[in-house]
Structure 1
């Protein structure tokens, strides 16, 4: 229980990938990636299994929530911002 509380204090809470994509707000995505990178690196995290770059085209696919949606243009724009910010 203590560890859960500590993690919630260290890291801010953001929508999941699909939730960020649903806003279609690339400035928000840029801000998310920049803040998340700062939080992660300040806590010692230097490696991650990154965000899913797949485009969700099959509605029955169980991993749609892990994607940035069904628009190839939006997915590529978001992945570009996320990769640029996390790579700094």
Structure 2
């Protein structure tokens, strides 16, 4: 994908980061589900990002190291417009 296909969705991404940072982590299996989902996504629009937000909001997570892994992964995502 070329540079013109990248979206600047900084505000929604910051919302994801803020939400993940605010979680109390509890369930490693649930965290692994988040990691698998985020790794498999190519975020193409706000609806997809909202799906991630909804999933993360529904989870109670547990392990601070695992949370840092989620934060690093989310920060590394490139939001793209495949159209």
TM-score tier, shorter chain, comes to 0.3 to 0.5
TM-score of the superposed pair, with normalisation by structure 1: 0.33
Larger relative contact order, structure 1 or 2 (CA cutoff 8 Å, min sep 6): 2
TM-score of the superposed pair, with normalisation by structure 2: 0.35
More helix by share: 2
Query: Which has the larger Rg?
Result: 1
